[in-house]
Chain A
Amino acid sequence: MNARVVIAEDAALFRAGLARLIEDHGHQVCAAVGDGGALLAAVAEHQPDVVVADIRMPPTHTDEGLRAALEIRRQHPRTGVLVLSQYIETKYTARLLEGNAAGAGYLLKERVADVADFADALERVAAGGTALDPEVVGQLLRASRRADGLAALTARERHVLALMAEGRSNAGIASALVVTGGTVEKHVASIFDKLGLPPDEADNRRVLAVLRYLGS
């Protein structure tokens, strides 16, 4: 695929590297800006497929990136939003997804080092999918009050559950675990059965179901 991307990041070196990485993977960087206001303007102008935004940007250096991302999700539902941060805050995840995991992502900045994985996540979000950082999923799993339900899963199934929560498709999970698609499907069916979740084909609704289960 060839996605049109807008980048918002205040550190110039990182922004330049990000732009290069994205262009190297065959996408088009429409604009690369340094703060939330400029991001909103660039999105309105270019109507990109996906936005990559740093959470902490000037002028307040708190969460303007996230607020801009929420605004974009409200005003431009067809633009995917991939939020980057140096920290993982579970609260930010909840605010970003808020009942709709389609076209949303939240990754640690350092994930850009695994270039292929990062590009995969970007493409997923651009296509309306979900990309959650393994750290987010790990925190949710650790904090989940559904310990008894999770205890019923095998180690392999728990791994598959985590990958599902990150937003990966069955094919993505299969390639990550180096197994066949059929094996993954079996695992997924077993997980949904054990946790008492209604099976759902669409990946982003599946993510939401898993996250709701973990968060409730």
Chain B
Amino acid sequence: MSSRRAFALALGVCAGLVVLFLALPVVAIFVDSSPGALLESLGEEGALDALWLSLRCTAIAIAIVLVAGTPAAYLIATRSFRGRAAVITAIELPLVLPPAVAGIALLASLGPSGILGGAIESAGIRLSLATAGVVVALVFVSAPFYVRQAIAAFGAVDRTLLDASRTLGVSEARSFARVMIPAAAPGLAAGTALALGRALGEFGATLMFAGSFQGITQTVPLAIYDRFATDFDSALALSAVLVAVSAAILLAVKLLVRGEPLGGWGTR
């Protein structure tokens, strides 16, 4: 065998292994649970509550991330300032934090005995063991996925577009809304999809910071964990629902923009 063919074969084997390893567990969820059991699990006490809570909290969290994260990413992408690298690192850090660390960090900062806990409490806001706490946890873990991608997307927009718009006397605020956001849209959408997926699947930080209570703080991942030991079938079915919802959201975002976020030579 020539070394070229050997290399091609090695590539193929590795790609096959990667796809198999990543897809097998997900496929197993659907193979192990029948569509009947899936529907039945949704009728079970608490399952719909969990799904509704997950969707609600994720929607609110992503709205917050988009509204605050888009201008922040634009600023970081278009200006050069001292400490820019440090700022980017700070934004990216939650990406690599284990969920338990994220939970501890939230407790230490925003929890009742955390550094801002007193101020939050005197403002009459309750975060721990409350739905608002779930939203905070979701924002914390999902925002870096969006902001990081958004910085890259704004940074990749051709500068001359913005300059042309300025020459025509358009204010920067207007150019940001009319030129930059549309130009960066595919990247922003990709970031949104990642953040959505991360938020929907959030588990550890939510459990540690917000607790687990049906209808208040028990999101789908927590409900799955609660069922896992006593009722594996129902946990499996609920997992299948979560996979289906996440996949649907991912697909919808991709179709909406029609841009290929992970482009490659094959897609050109």
Q: Do A and B bind each other?
A: no
